[in-house]
Amino acid sequence: MHISRMESIHWPEVKRIYQQGIDSGQATFERKPPATWLAWCEKFLQDLSLVCLDESRVLGWGAISLTSSRVAYQGVGEVSLYVGRQFQGQGIGKKLMESIISRSEKAGFWTLQAGIFPENEISIQLHLEHDFRVVGVRERIGKMAYGPLAGRWRDVVLLERRSKGYSD
């Protein structure tokens, strides 16, 4: 098992894993993954889009998107991390998180943030184990538009992690 930069050849499996998360109703407000690899590339930073591979099979992925286009926030990114349903509980999320943190710091990011549904306790715990802290709960911030929770308002726990090299 190893971590690699995500490439277009990984896209079908990345999209499948993303769809598994969407189908769970506990991962995102998104209704579907980006339609194409190019659409993915518009949303996530390519140098910070990673896959965990077992030989050539994608087990999970992690990526960072910018939180704002404003210059002041260029060092702040939002983390997305998904592990294939059949590969959960094998330390893949931990490996991806460690790599995404390391690579983001080398790329000049000083803050990573994540928004997670409170019911997704495993994801919250993974973030807390990697020095994220809960900065608040955005109550009834969005309404589910699909699945068994369609029409329900959802809370989102906002977590943030400051780079160890961050200073005033």
Q: pLDDT per residue over 63-101, tens digit each?
A: 999 998 888 888 999 999 999 999 999 999 999 999 999
Amino acid, single-letter form, for residue 164 = K
Q: What value does the mean pLDDT take over residues 123-140?
A: 98
Average pLDDT, the chain: 94
List, in order of start, the domains of the chain with CATH numbers. 2-162 (3.40.630.30)
> Is this model's pTM higher than 0.85 or not?
yes
Q: Distance between terminal CA atoms of the chain? A: 38
Looking only at the bridges linking them, the beta strands covering 57-66 and 76-83 are antiparallel
Output the CA–CA distances (angstroms, integers) from residue 28 to 47, 57, 58, 79, in the order listed.
22, 24, 20, 12
- Which residue's entry shows tokens 């943190």? 101
Q: Quick check: 104 and 112 in contact, CB under 8 A?
A: yes
Q: Is the pLDDT of residue 168 over 60?
A: no
Q: pLDDT per residue over 27-75, tens digit each?
A: 999 999 999 999 999 999 999 999 999 988 999 999 999 998 888 888 9
Looking only at the bridges linking them, the beta strands covering 153-162 and 2-5 are unpaired
Q: So what's the pLDDT on residue 105?
A: 95
Q: Is the pLDDT of residue 167 over 70?
A: no
Q: Quick check: 5 and 62 in contact, CB under 8 A?
A: no
Q: So what's the pLDDT on residue 71?
A: 85
Q: Which residues pair with 114 in a beta bridge?
A: 159
d(CA 59, CA 86): 9
Q: So what's the pLDDT on residue 55?
A: 86
3-class SS of residue 113: strand
Q: Is the pLDDT of residue 11 over 70?
A: yes
